[in-house]
Amino acid sequence: MDLSVVVPAYREGTRIYDNLRRLLGELDPLGADYEVVVVSDGNRDATASEAQRVASSRVRVIEYSRNRGKGYALTTGVRHSTGALIIFIDADMELHPREIRQFVRQLREQDLDVVIGSKRHPDSRVHYPLFRRVQSLVYQMLIRLLFQLGVQDTQTGLKLFRREVLESVLPRLAVKQFAFDLELLVVARHLGFTRIGEAPIELAYQFSSTISPRAVYKILWDTAAIFYRLHVTRYYDEPHPWPEVEAPVAAGSAQRAPVDAARRS
């Protein structure tokens, strides 16, 4: 398999059907052998059943019973994937899937380990509230101060990796929710995967609210914990076993794919 597209999904309901069809419409012209792995993260709505309604053998749906967070969902998706390249894209498709073509081209032409979408790339087309822009800018300034990653934006949900990067990095990660994207890049660079490129994106947020105070606290706490593990305990220096994942469940008439416990680095 050339490319695996991992799509974490939470409370997408009926929207996910059209979003997945749009994703397939962008992937088919690539001429690559690809798969789409949708991970329903403990949904109690129609997200899983609507994703299964997409009539394509390239789409697989993984579902488990309890909401575990985006990082957990992405890790589960990677465990069920087979592609040499793996891309993450959120199920809401606020980040337009047409950018995937450019991500793959950039990774191959520049011989990169990782390509990440950046809201601050000069060619990006971004529309979201001013206060959210300020929140993002302040957080990225803090990240540059603490980690010196050499990238302008760590939090955008569209990211492309060589498989060997994720197989080395994911077993070492401790964060499953708010700061997962940051920890992923910090550990990748720490392990020597330093060829990280940034690419332009098209982003149109579908909300107007700001991040809650509780979420801000959790993000900052997780960020401090990553710094502590990196510089004090040296937690990331040693290999760890793949984290245990909750067994997928069957719902309706469709059987979910089993967890491949043997797929370990």
- Across residues 66-85, what is the average pLDDT? 94
Q: Is the pLDDT of residue 119 over 80?
A: yes
As a whole-number percent, the residues of the chain with pLDDT over 90 amount to 68
Q: Where are the domains of the chain?
A: 3-237
Q: Is the pLDDT of residue 262 over 60?
A: no
Q: Are 76 and 260 in contact (CB under 8 A)?
A: no
Half-sphere exposure of 262 (CA within 13 A, CB side): 1
Looking at the chain, how many residues does it have? Answer: 265
Nearest-angstrom CA–CA distance, 28 and 58 = 10
Residue 129 φ/ψ, nearest 5 degrees = -60, 150
How far is C-alpha 5 from the chain's CA centre? 10
Q: What is the pLDDT of residues 125-179, one digit of tens each?
A: 887 777 777 888 899 899 999 998 999 899 888 999 999 999 999 999 998 877 9
Q: pTM of the predicted model, to two decimals? A: 0.88
Q: What is the CATH number of domain 3-237?
A: 3.90.550.10
254: left (phi over 0), alpha (psi -120 to 50) or beta: beta
Residue 254 φ/ψ, nearest 5 degrees = -105, 140
- Across residues 253-262, what is the average pLDDT? 37
Nearest-angstrom CA–CA distance, 182 and 153 = 9
